[in-house]
Amino acid sequence: MTITLADDELLVAETFGPTVQGEGPSTGRRAVFIRLMNCNLTCKNCDTPHTWDDTRFDLNAAGTVVSISDLLAWATAQPVDLVVITGGEPLIQQRRLIPLAQGIVYAGMQVEIETNGTIAPAPDLLAWVTRFNVSPKLSTFGAGMPISRRIKGRVLRRFAVSGRSVFKFVVSSIADLDEITELVEVHDLAPVYVMPEGRTAEEVTRRLAEIADPAIERGFHLTTRLHLLAWGDQRGR
């Protein structure tokens, strides 16, 4: 994908909302979303491959160049107080996210950024982001990628010590909880949320029931995927 961006532009997959944040500590909170194109990982179970997988999608058609001022005008006109910036991997475009996050905060709103935790946040971005929802990829979810590509210890520590991050792991079985425990101990990560993998309300509900007690015993918080329970696997909800 060869699109050249000006300094005041972002490559956007979609904007949507008002809806609710469906995952993590802000679950249920009214929000709007800005989903950015491109990712530096290739997770087997990715639920947004249209942002990066050029073997299955026409990325030139999927992405739109939008000016930061237009994004700000759209986001700050919404009747919510939370903007979630997601992807793809938003931190690929992080230099351009600084004025966007700053403008959102100046408008009296909060900003969450969802990231896979492999790209360190710049200090100028950290200053404006209310919370990073950091989602490191486990061996099952990111099958085919070596751990050195999925897990960057120094980057995870940077998020952990920022005081502005939570760590959210997508879990497909109880066995994943052991892998999370090891990562949490090695990299000193907290707080930790675990979330059931699933593309349907039935899958999410069944896996949540399987992992709930063992996750709590290990000291982890739980989150569901509220948007899936409410609307199913609809894009833009």
**List of residues contacting ligand SF4 (CB under 6 A):** 39, 41-43, 46, 48, 87-89, 116, 137
- C-alpha 110/C-alpha 190 separation (Å) is 21
Cβ closer to ligand SF4: 87 or 103?
A: 87
Q: How far is the CB of 50 from ligand SF4 (least distance, A)?
A: 10
Q: How far is the CB of 126 from ligand SF4 (least distance, A)?
A: 20
Q: How far is the CB of 122 from ligand SF4 (least distance, A)?
A: 19
* All residues at 6 or more sequence positions from 221 whose CB lies less than 8 Å from its CB, including other chains: 25, 191, 192, 193, 194, 215
- C-alpha 17/C-alpha 1 separation (Å) is 27
- C-alpha 113/C-alpha 178 separation (Å) is 26
- C-alpha 223/C-alpha 140 separation (Å) is 19
Q: How far is the CB of 219 from ligand SF4 (least distance, A)?
A: 25
Cβ closer to ligand SF4: 86 or 224?
A: 86
- Give the residue among 80, 103, 73, 105 at the shortest CA–CA distance from 18: 80
DSSP state of 229: H
Cβ closer to ligand SF4: 42 or 181?
A: 42
Residue 30 is inside which H or E element, if any? strand 30-36
Enter the tokens of residue 161: 């010590």
Q: How far is the CB of 174 from ligand SF4 (least distance, A)?
A: 21
CB atoms within 10 A of CB 178: 11
Cβ closer to ligand SF4: 48 or 205?
A: 48
Cβ closer to ligand SF4: 26 or 115?
A: 115
Cβ closer to ligand SF4: 137 or 227?
A: 137
- C-alpha 26/C-alpha 82 separation (Å) is 9
Enter the tokens of residue 148: 């050195």
Cβ closer to ligand SF4: 9 or 114?
A: 114
- C-alpha 216/C-alpha 171 separation (Å) is 14
Q: How far is the CB of 62 from ligand SF4 (least distance, A)?
A: 13
Q: How far is the CB of 170 from ligand SF4 (least distance, A)?
A: 8
